[in-house]
Amino acid sequence: MTHQSNPELLNTILQLLTDEGSGGFAEGIRLLVNESMRQERSQALQAQPYERTDARLGHANGFKPKTLVSGCGPIQFQIPQVRGDLNFYPSAL
């Protein structure tokens, strides 16, 4: 399984930082960490969302909100959940 780059995400973050300066930093971090956790879940499951394979270890089961307080202020992340015989918690947290 390979990571697919998301140029749209990077463009969005760059635009945030360009338009809002340091005010867009928290939102940029939120976007990056959420995408990182989604990719990590796909690796743990050994399948992309909606992909059916024999190697799949569990199933994606939505997201749970979690707010972390940072130096930039509170940031609300969407923590990916899984179901099945797989223990998963994102390493970013």
Give residue 85's identity as a one-letter amino acid code.
Answer: D
* Residue 77 · residue 65 · CB < 8 Å: yes
Q: What string of pLDDT tens digits covers the 93 residues of the chain?
A: 444 567 788 888 888 888 887 778 888 889 999 999 999 999 999 988 888 888 888 899 999 999 999 888 899 999 999 998 889 999 988
Q: Any idea of the CA torsion for 53, 81, 89, 7, to the nearest 10 degrees?
A: 70
Distance CA 3, CA 43 (A): 9
Q: Which residue has the tokens 């939120």?
A: 30
Q: What is the model's pTM?
A: 0.80
Tokens for 5, please give them: 């780059």
Residue 57 has φ and ψ, to the nearest 5°, of -100, -10
Tokens for 86, please give them: 């797989």
